[in-house]
Amino acid sequence: FSFYSPVKDTVVVNDRWGSGIPCHHGGYFTCQDRYNPGKLQNRKWENAMTLDKAAWGYRRNTNLHDYVTMEELVATLAETVSCGGNILINVGPTHDGRITPIFEERLRNLGKWLKVNGEAIYGSRPWNYQNDTVTPNVWYTKNLATSTVYAVVLDWPKNDKLFLGAPTLKDSATITMLGVPGTLYFKRSSLWGITVNFPKLTPDILPCQWAWVLKMQGVTN
């Protein structure tokens, strides 16, 4: 037998086609629903998740707390992409084919967030560190073509000062926040790590909600 496929270079196959297959065989791994390992994987993988935390289909009896919040959605996206995963975001249409407004709102909001921050996500690759070594809830990606490292910061730092333990920066390095004009002041610590001053932004000029992205050029590690 020959198992040559004429579409082997254009079709990608998941791991959901037989018993004992998930997480073992396939073009990419999805393992269980909402698989999100939080660390770099040896194989290409996908986080197949749903905006209704309990179901793939539409449910008439959902409660508000059954829906993934925007904070959770952006966090899940950042974590997944930083660890080299693809994300599949499912919504269940009603029996007559409608997407209910709460699903629509989540998807449109994610689109708004990506309009500002998409360059940290699309075409990105995992960096040497997936999340920061010191500050929780900071997830990194890298654009290989431009050697740019991005930090997705899920929590706005107290006093507008963020310490990052992972990146080493050149003297000539620059840091900007996506959607905000100008560069940000940063200071290297004597041993390792940097402190970045977040911009003084008021709600009317905030580029986005839910998470903010630092774009770092001149990272040497």
Out of 47, 76, 131, 141, the residue judged to bind ligand NAG by CB under 6 A = 131
Q: How far is the CB of 153 from ligand NAG (least distance, A)?
A: 12
**Interface with ligand NAG: number of residues (CB under 6 A):** 6
Region binding ligand NAG by CB under 6 A among candidate stretches 7-15, 55-63, 126-134, 178-186: 126-134
47 binds ligand NAG (CB under 6 A): no
Find the shortest distance in angstroms from Cβ 129 to ligand NAG. Answer: 9
> Would you state the structure tokens that stand for residue 39, as one six-digit string?
């660390």
| Choice between 136 and 181, CB closer to ligand NAG | 136
Q: Hey, which residues between 135 and 194 contact ligand NAG (CB under 6 A)?
A: 136
- What span, in angstroms and rounded, lies between the C-alpha atoms of 214 and 179? 10
Contact 77, 121 (CB under 8 A): yes
Strand partners, 147: none
139 or 210, CB closer to ligand NAG? 139
- Answer yes or no whether residue 38 interacts with ligand NAG by CB under 6 A: yes
Alpha carbon distance 120, 151 (integer Å): 8
Nearer to ligand NAG among residue 75 and residue 110 (C-beta) = 75
CA 192 to chain centre: 25
Tell whether residue 76 is a contact of ligand NAG (CB under 6 A): no
Q: How far apart are CA 158 and CA 55, in angstroms?
A: 37
Stretch that binds ligand NAG, among 69-77, 112-120, 127-135, 152-160 (CB under 6 A): 127-135
Separation between Cα atoms, residue 132 and residue 152, nearest integer Å: 10
End-to-end CA distance of the chain: 47
> Which of left, alpha, beta for 160 (phi over 0: left; psi -120 to 50: alpha)?
left
Residue numbers of the site for ligand NAG (CB under 6 A)?
38-39, 131-132, 134, 136
